[in-house]
Structures are given as structure tokens and as C-alpha cells.
Chains A and B, each alone.
Chain A
Amino acid sequence: MTPITSGSGKSLTQLFVEAATEAIEDSGVDRIDAMYVGNMMSGFLQNQEHLGSLMATALGREGIPSYKVEGACASGGVATNAGVKAVLSGLEEIVLVGAVEKMSGYTTPEVTAGLMMAEDKARVAATGVTFVGLNAMIAREYMRKYQVSHEALAQFPVLCHENALTNPKAQFHKKISADDVLQSPLVADPLRLYDCSAIGDGAAALILAPLEKAGEFTDSPVRIASSAVATDTLSLHQRKDITSFEASRKAADRAFKAAGLGPGEIDLVEVHDAFSVLGVMALEDLGFAEKGSGVQLLKDGDCFRDGRLPTNTFGGLKARGHPVGASGVYQIAELALQLSNRADNCQVPKANTGLAQSVGGIGSTVAVHILKRGD
């Protein structure tokens, strides 16, 4: 994982190579059979596509099969799902899944327009709405429907900023309070600056292999117990209930069934808190809280690293950072560090199982992974 910054000064390729090289060296593998590159906006922002061949070439691995996988902000999660399937198929043995996004160096209106590529051009983007705006409309209805205060939602970014304090790679190292959130500038009413993840550059990578093969390289492999992707309608207005993401519920249901686990058996989670309200909704959609009561987990202190369900233990999208297409791989890499006791100052006391949820578009694509200690 590269550190996440809002001005890395590095190119898309440099970021990817840095993360991929670290993963290859850390794993000790002697070859890569296939590569999956998660990314959302390289075509729009960098005028660069064909990342499969581009990144294989940059790593001196041209010749292997290599693919770009795009699923908006869930690109990293979806790329991991593709990599898992390649290994499970038996066609590939050692697979590199890397994901990268470079968002700095462009104006906010440019990046905002790039993110809108994930929505319906004619029915939604043509109105001038932004992704913050779509999530603001969710937040307004969520707060009304469940009588949840903005102050209660604000506990999510507060948690993430607290957890990021001990993550040297996090974008923000700044403790904040709920008051700070409520007094930060409005971006799209009712969402404010500190409700929202920021623009950042970053890349993260994983090495996947059959468990017995992984045992040749490491004493502490982490098992991917299940990997699931689900889709919903592309647009929010095509759904009846806008306070829950059905794709999250479907992907979680599939992932839990495939892993033979339930929400009560998960020790820690990494959820897609691009906006405060999404973090809270994720806790509900993934089965950790009833609808409308996700904020209770925050209030009870369950989500802190010493709580019952440590959440976003490296700072989440809000404070670790959200280089959009890469975030899904950061989450899984962070879970892997936790489950192999290598999370340093972010380490949680009990870490045998973990779940990561990555959301693309406005809940239109969701990837859920469940990981277990491999030993």
C-alpha cells in the first residue's frame, strides 16, 4: 500500500508499481501468473486506458494475462473478486491484484465530473447532481425516516479519524469531534466537508494463491473465505428504498453463506464510508445492526479498536483515504495485516475473521470479502 496523499506528485504507473513491488517482495513469490488491475478513472482523468498491459509492462511482467477491472469506486473489490475466481478456477496459480487511482492534479469540478461517470448520463448526470449530492439525498431521507440526528451520523468520521492517528499511511492524522463535523462547510446539504472522504492518490496490492501454495512462502497466510459481488440498478431513483443498499445485503448474504459464517462470527470490518451515512448504512446492510440503528453501535463504542466490532481499523475511506478505485484493495490488505498480527499500532486484540465491503456508484455494485486466519 502506498501512503494516501492529496498531492503525491507520482504518476498512475509509479503508484501502481510501488504498491505491486511491495506486495511481491513482502509475499516472497517467485513469479506472477496473472494480474488484475482495479481502477475507475484513468480514462477520464489521465486519458489512459489499457491498464492491463500498461501495468504488466511497468512491472517487467509483459507476457502474462493482465486485465483492468472497473466497477466505479468498488473497482478494487471487484478486481479482487476476479482474481479470486482466477485462482479458484485452477487456470492461474499466483495472481497479483493491484488497484490504483490518481485524483490529484485536477480541479474539484473535473474530479467531480469524473466520478459522475458512474451514474446514468441522461437521467442523472445531466441534472448537474454530484455523488456528494446523491449521498446527501440519502442522508436527508435516512435521518427523517429513522429519526437519526446528524450528530449521531458524525460519530462515523470521528471514529475513522481516531483510528487513522496510528496509521502512518493514512491521508489524515487529525483527531476530530462531532462538533467539528457539524461546523465544517456544507458541500451538498445536509452533508458537510467532514462527512465526506477526500480526493487522494493511492495504490494497494495483494498476492493471491491457493492456500497450500501460499504456505511455501509464508507462515502466516490469510485465507479468503469468500468473495461475492452483487449489483443493483445503476441509479438511486430506480429503487423504492433509498436508505439501504440491496446490493450490499445480497453480496453479504452470498459471502456469509459461502464462508459458513454469520455476522456474529465476524471480529472486525472494513466498510465503505465514502460519506458518514454510508458507514452507518453499511453496518445495517451487512447484518451487524437493525435498520435505522447502526448509530447505536457507534454510541456504545463497539466500533473502536477495543470494542465488540472494530470498524475501519486503519481509518476507513474518510481518514485513511479514498483513492476511489483502489480503496477496495486497501480494505482487504488491511484485514490481511490484522489477521496475521502485522497491523502494528492499528492492531486489534482479537482478529480471526474479518469482512470488507466495497461500494461502487450509488450502491450499484458491491463487493464483500470475508477473510480468516490461514493457520
Chain B
Amino acid sequence: MVEFGGIKGSSCPKCNWSDVFAIDACPRCQSPVKEARFSGQGKIVTFTLIRYPPKGFEKEAPYVIAMIDLENGPRVIGRIVEESENLQIGQTVSFLTISNGALEFKVNQ
């Protein structure tokens, strides 16, 4: 999940499975995977606003969490830096950064 202006992960040449992490083998078909770079463009599948966070995230709440389909990449869970009232399912987003291990996105204007 290295940042390079996009997201670096893994994809399976045989079955097209992909992940935002570097891993050794495809969990679907056990083939060796290759490194993949995802542009970080994506579309919101669904989202929520976390008002009661887990321990360790208290100072950050409330924050938006979304499920995002990455272009030519996997579906992921990440943060969106935007007021939840302005969000809709289907909106497109761009990858911003990786913050404390979490993918962060912004809404495309």
C-alpha cells in the first residue's frame, strides 16, 4: 500500500483478483501475483459517518468512511475528507494519501 500519487498493491495475472497490499500469492487461485499500480480514481459504493469511534480514534471523530471501487483495482474501505451531507453513492473520488495505515480520498469536483 505504498503511495506514489496512486496506490501500489498486487494483482493476479490469471484471475484478475487485486489488493492494495503487497502479498505473495492470489487467495483466489494461488497463482503468483504481480505488483500493480492503481490510479486512485474510484467511485463511492456506500458510506457512513462514524460518530462513536473505537479506542484510538476518539480525537478524530466524527469522520466519513466509505466503500470505494477503485478504477481497474479492488474495492476498498477508506476515509473521505468531506462533509457527509455532501456525499452520494456513485460520486467519483481521488486518492489523497495514506494516513496511519488508512486510505484517504477526496471527492472529485
Residues of A participating in the B interface, judged by any CB pair closer than 8 Å: 107-110, 112-113, 116, 122-130, 132-133, 136-138, 140-141, 144, 186-191, 235-238, 242
Which secondary structure dominates where chain A touches chain B? Answer: helix
- Whether B55 lies near A112 (C-beta < 8 A) is yes
User: Given the complex, which residues of B lie within 8 Å of A125, measured CB to CB?
Assistant: 54
- Give the docked Cα–Cα distance between A130 and B62 (Å): 12
Task: Please give 6 more A-B residue pairs, beta carbons under 8 A apart, in addition to A189-B49, A235-B77.
Answer: A133-B48, A141-B45, A186-B49, A188-B52, A190-B48, A238-B75
Query: When chains A and B are docked, how far (Å) is the Cα of A113 from the Cα of B21?
Result: 23
Please give, as numbers and ranges, the residues of chain B lying within 8 Å of A122 by CB-CB distance: 21, 101
CA of A237 to CA of B50, assembled, Å: 17
- Taken together as a complex, chains A and B put the C-alpha atoms of A125 and B53 apart, in Å, by 11
The reply to whether A113 and B52 form a contact with Cβ atoms under 8 Å apart is: no
A124 vs B74: C-alpha distance when bound (angstroms): 13
Distance of A238 Cα from B76 Cα, bound (Å): 8
CA of A125 to CA of B48, assembled, Å: 15
Known: A137-B48, A140-B48. A127 touches B78 (CB 8 A): yes
Nearest neighbor of B78 in chain A, beta-carbon distance: A127
Instruction: Tell me which of A113, A122, A136, A189 has the highest count of chain B C-beta atoms within 10 A of its own C-beta.
Output: A189
Interface size on B, residues (CB 8 A): 34
The answer to whether B89 and A112 touch across the interface, beta carbons within 8 angstroms, is no
Q: Hey, which chain A residues are within 8 Å of B75, CB to CB?
A: 237-238
Contact yes or no, A108 B45, CB < 8 A: no
Judging by beta carbons under 8 Å apart, are B46 and A137 in contact? yes
- CA of A233 to CA of B60 in the docked complex: distance in angstroms? 29
On whether the beta carbons of B56 and A124 are closer than 8 Å, the reply is no
Interface pair A138/B46, CB less than 8 Å apart: yes
Which B residues touch A140, using CB under 8 A?
46-48, 89
Nearest Cβ on chain B to A106's Cβ, whole angstroms: 9
Q: Which 10 A-B pairs have the closest CB atoms?
A: A113-B54, A136-B48, A126-B101, A109-B55, A113-B55, A128-B57, A127-B102, A137-B46, A112-B54, A141-B46
B12: chain A residues within 8 A (beta carbon)? none
- Chain B residue numbers with a CB within 8 Å of A129 are 48, 50, 65, 77
The answer to whether A237 touches B54 (Cβ under 8 A) is: no
> Contact partner of B53 among A124, A130, A141, CB < 8 A?
A130
B52:A237 contact, CB within 8 angstroms: no
Bound CA span A137–B21, Å? 23
Task: Assess whether A128 is in contact with B67, with CB atoms less than 8 Å apart.
Answer: no
A residues in contact with B84, CB < 8 Å: 189
B51 at the interface (CB under 8 A from A): yes
Interface 0/1 of B67-79, CB less than 8 Å to A: 1000000111111
- Contact between chains at B46 and A109 (CB < 8 Å): no
In the complex with contacts A128-B57, A237-B77, A242-B51 CB distance below 8 A: no
CA distance A30 to B76 in the complex (A): 53
Q: A240's closest neighbor in chain B, by CB?
A: B75
B7 at the interface (CB under 8 A from A): no
